[in-house]
Structure 1
Amino acid sequence: MKHLLATLLLATTTVHATDLARLSSVEAKIADKTYKDITSIMVVQDGKTVYEHYFNGSTADTLNDVRSASKSITALLVGAAIDRHLISGVDAPVYDFFPGHKPADPRLAKTTLEDLLTMSSLWECNDENEFSSGNEERMYVSERWLDFALALPVKGFAPWMDKPADSPFGRSFSYCTAGAFVAGAAVERAAGQPLARFAAQVLEQPLGITAVKWNTSPEGIGMGGGGTRYRTRDLAKIGQLVLDDGRWNGRQVISANYIKAMTTPHAQPREDAEYGYLWWHFHFTVDGKDVAAWSMSGNGGNYVLLVPERHLVAVVTSTAYNQRYAHPQSREIISRYILGATTP
């Protein structure tokens, strides 16, 4: 009977392998500056660390500024607030959290948290358009970020832009950091405490994360839109939490239902990617095959990547902020060295 059970276990358990020689060969490319400003790479498969290396003066204790990858943390905090019944759900109206603010247009009163989480609200807010009223750089130089965001006008749709009804998933995507900031501010209002403190209680402490830095806006509101700093190992923990449907060491930290909704495509930013709740769904070509992965992503080429079919978590941190090569080189490292060295 023991032999039969062992045979059945082997037949039903997927065994993953890692080509460490191929994976570690990236180190020479970082050393000769083929890949610039990379500070760490970590790969966890089947819950075990198979590769961890630091570069360019970074160490395991370095707090990496992951910029917009922080938005994905904010999405998890929204889930934690919903789990605790502090927020009714992603369909909660945004302006209800801020009764002292009225929308610039009555149509905006219907804006929900889900609209912000999917970057598909009707606010005229586009970080990729320097002329946009809601461009994040305009927010940063204002005195009160919340006032700035909640007063944004309704966006129009130029002839070359897809309206929501004509867009995949029925949502017209527009990358808006101000929206992620407001989502974090809503969590702060609902929880009745600073965003950083809530994050520590519901996410970081359960995962054993003890070193982190959160930013705040000029008026003291937690910055859920970017700039949070974490150690590489702690970023991997967050990735593993999501990969394991919100569980960590047998404890349900974030509900599985919310994790499923968060990592379901709700909008399409471009032809080669989908978007969940402040999480990207990227596609990589590896050995001629498409490998889909959910990802946190931030300026400078910072990534926390999840590949469910490989039970894989990968972290790439970089300080190539505002450099054109930042994201292409990180994505090449992911596809060529990380995904290329691990098996499905």
Structure 2
Amino acid sequence: MDMESALAGIVRAGRAPDLHGVVVVRHGDLIFEYYGEGPDVAWSGPLGTVTFGPGTLHDLRSVTKSVVGLLYGMALADGQVPEPEEPLLAQFPEYPDLAGRTELTVEHALTMTLGLEWDESAPYTSAANSEIAMELAPDRYRYVLERPIAEEPGRTWRYCGGASTLVGGLIAKGTGMPLEDFARSALFEPLGITAFEWAFGDDGVAAAASGLRLTPRDLARIGHYVLESGDPWLARMLRPYVAIADDFHYGYQWYLGTGWFGGFGNGGQRLYVRPDLDLVVAVTAGQYNLPDQSTPTVVLDEVVLPALAAS
């Protein structure tokens, strides 16, 4: 069965709820895309019912983190940010009272192994969620860096939007440009991405953990760049530095599985890359904050991959 028929059947059966968009790129060619219709929200609030299409921007939520990991390597190539092995607090001399935390490195931020007390299990509408508390704090970087150390840094992966915030801050410091401007000049414009939005906190700083909005086509374009560019940073970025679960690891802001790598975002946002198939899949959905966000997995496992296997 082809992708169009398979996806239509799954959508009709209600097995891919809140699906907003699917883009499939293979061997660099766009081979399939789908756009739905339904209610959507952004950082700014409800967007109402949206009819999605190729030019519709969509929240990427935490897939933003993976884009920021890629941007770090671009800044590093120009000597604008520190090597991952360098001390983290040394890059934030404006907080001399925290300088004693010499065990923390930039790599601990890149791999979410800071060992800090951090919990994003509460809803993203609540200040009990560490990321929301960070956004409400007068200084996002101090908020992260002064969290109590709960375990030895470098040993355990703990989901932490604060880690991504620090990475974004290092990029802005090193390049002398706001994160969104560096992204535009270093990544988006060279790839032909002309439309994007980035949500800002009350302090006017782009949210490195979850604020980027792109079209699914342009998200897939970034995935194809990571797949094909040959940039030496990518081998470092996609190394399995820390285990999350069996056969599931984390690199520098990217998830790694057996034969694939990608970015995940709240609500069912997904960038999925399979090098062995020369395949990139971008999925957007509206399952924000729901306990079941399986729509992208259903699309991948029951539509895209079976159709390719049968072709």
- Shorter-chain TM-score bucket reads 0.7 to 0.9
**Aligned ranges for residues 64-213 of structure 1 at < 5 Å?**
64-102=58-96, 104=98, 106=100, 108-128=101-121, 135-156=130-151, 171-213=155-197
Residue in 1 that maps onto 2:28: 47
Supply the distance in 1 between the matched residues of 2:297 and 2:213 (Cα, whole angstroms): 21
Report if aligned partners of 1:41, 1:316 keep a CA contact under 8 Å in 2.
Answer: yes
Give distance in 1, aligned partners of 2:7 and 2:246.
Answer: 29
Report the aligned-residue RMSD. Answer: 2.3
* Structure 1 gap ranges (5+): 1-18, 157-162, 165-169, 247-255, 284-291
1:132: how far off?
A: 11
C-alpha change, 1:103 and 1:110, in structure 2 (3 Å) is: farther
Per-residue deviation, 1:245: 3.5
Structure 1 window deviating more from structure 2 (296-305 vs 118-127): it is: 118-127
Note the C-alpha offset of 1:318. Answer: 0.5
Q: How does 1:296-311 map to 2 (within 5 A)?
A: 296-311=263-278
Cα shift at 1:230: 0.2
Identical counterparts, % of pairs: 28
Aligned counterpart for 1:323 among listed residues 257, 277, 290: 290
- Aligned: 1:333 with 2:308: no
Cα distance in 2, alignment partners of residues 192 and 208 from structure 1: 23
- Is the contact made by 2:63 and 2:270 (CA closer than 8 Å) also made in structure 1? yes
Kept in 2, the 8 Å contact 1:125–1:132? The answer is no
What do the CA deviations read for 1:265-300 (whole angstroms, capped 9, x no partner)?
Answer: 0111122411111101135xxxxxxxx310111000
C-alpha displacement at 1:135, in angstroms? 1.9
8 A contact 1:119–1:176 mirrored in 2 = yes
SS at 1:206 equivalent = helix
Does 2:224 align with 1:258? no
Counterpart residue type for residue 30 of structure 1: V
| Alpha-carbon distance in 2 for matches of 1:116, 1:132 | 22
Query: Using the alignment, how far apart are the partners of 2:83 and 2:99 within structure 1?
Result: 24
Q: Match for 1:172: what amino acid?
A: T
Structure 1 or 2, whichever has the larger Rg, is 1
Deviation of 1:103 after TM superposition, in Å, equals 5.9
- Seen in structure 2, the aligned counterparts of structure 1 residues 339 and 23 have a Cα distance that, compared at 3 Å, is farther
- Give SS of 1:173's match: coil
Contact 2:89 2:99 in 1 (8 A): no
Q: Deviations over 1:52-110 (max 9, x none)?
A: 1111121111111010000001101110110111123112322222211146583x333
Q: How far apart are residue 23 of structure 1 and its match?
A: 5.0
Candidates 26, 29, 34, aligned match of 2:10? 29
Distance 1:217 1:96 in 2: 25
SS in 2 for 1:110: coil
The match for 2:252 among 277, 299, 310 is 277
Residue identity in the other structure for 2:82? S
Aligned: 1:267 with 2:242: yes
Indicate conservation of the 8 Å contact 2:58/2:216, yes or no.
Answer: yes
- For the Cα contact (< 8 Å) 1:103–1:150, is it kept in 2? no
Residue 186 of structure 1: SS of its match in structure 2?
helix
Equivalent in the alignment of 2:217: 233
The separation in 2 between residues aligned to 1:224 and 1:141, in whole angstroms, is 15
For the residue of structure 2 that corresponds to 1:235, the secondary structure is helix
Aligned mates of 1:54, 1:146 — CA distance in 2: 38
Partner of residue 249, structure 1: none
Partner of 1:287: none
Q: Secondary structure at the match of 2:62?
A: helix
Q: CA deviation at 1:179?
A: 0.9
Residues matched between the structures, number:
295
Please give the TM-score of this superposition, normalised by the length of structure 1. 0.80
* Residue 118 (structure 1) shift: 0.6
Which residue is 2:42 aligned to? none
1:110 partner amino acid: E
For normalisation by structure 2, the TM-score amounts to 0.88
Q: CA deviation at 1:111?
A: 1.6
Task: Report the CA distance between 1:40 and its aligned residue.
Answer: 0.5
